[in-house]
Structure 1
């Protein structure tokens, strides 16, 4: 579709999602970023958060959770690259909650605890958004 963004979610081991979208919302280290067709070129670092993609010509929203990564926007193309990306419907809420509790127990023990907590929170939010819809 000529009036849409082309979006790719790419993890280290696979292309997680690729398609046409009307809008993408992502969280960068500078804050939330909403991307529509015609957006100014951007290259920014992502933080552990939920990604929302409004699929073009539908009411469908693709929800994903990402580790820190990179978002590139240029010429109506959005590329989101991260070591780990999971779609919300791939995440089990019970497991995400258990992972969050385990990460919280690592505060003060593990230098990476805060990043693990942010990632676990993003996974849980992604799963909850999908299951609420």
Structure 2
């Protein structure tokens, strides 16, 4: 889901004919809000499974890393992006944001952590 939404849907929607920046921002906010809710449910489930079991460090570290990155995205990065998109939707013309690059970097780290978690969980 992270790969499909963050690295395919998000950049492509602005290239679709007729999609304006306000429409793209509105779609993006809805899609990422839904993604983050699903990710949060999965993070709680993974955290519970790790806490209930006795997994090796090779499972605990990437699981914890993915949860920490998600928390940083939700609590630190997304609020600033939401404030910025509110301003754009209100009609302000703002320059490109470096916060988007930070969010993308966090997504890449999260994908790597999830990949490591999957491999570790299958081989543990």
- Structure 1-normalised TM-score? 0.29
Choose between structure 1 and 2: higher strand proportion.
1
Higher relative contact order by CA 8 Å / sep ≥ 6: 1 or 2? 2
- Structure 2-normalised TM-score? 0.30
Greater C-alpha radius of gyration = 2
Choose between structure 1 and 2: higher helix proportion.
2
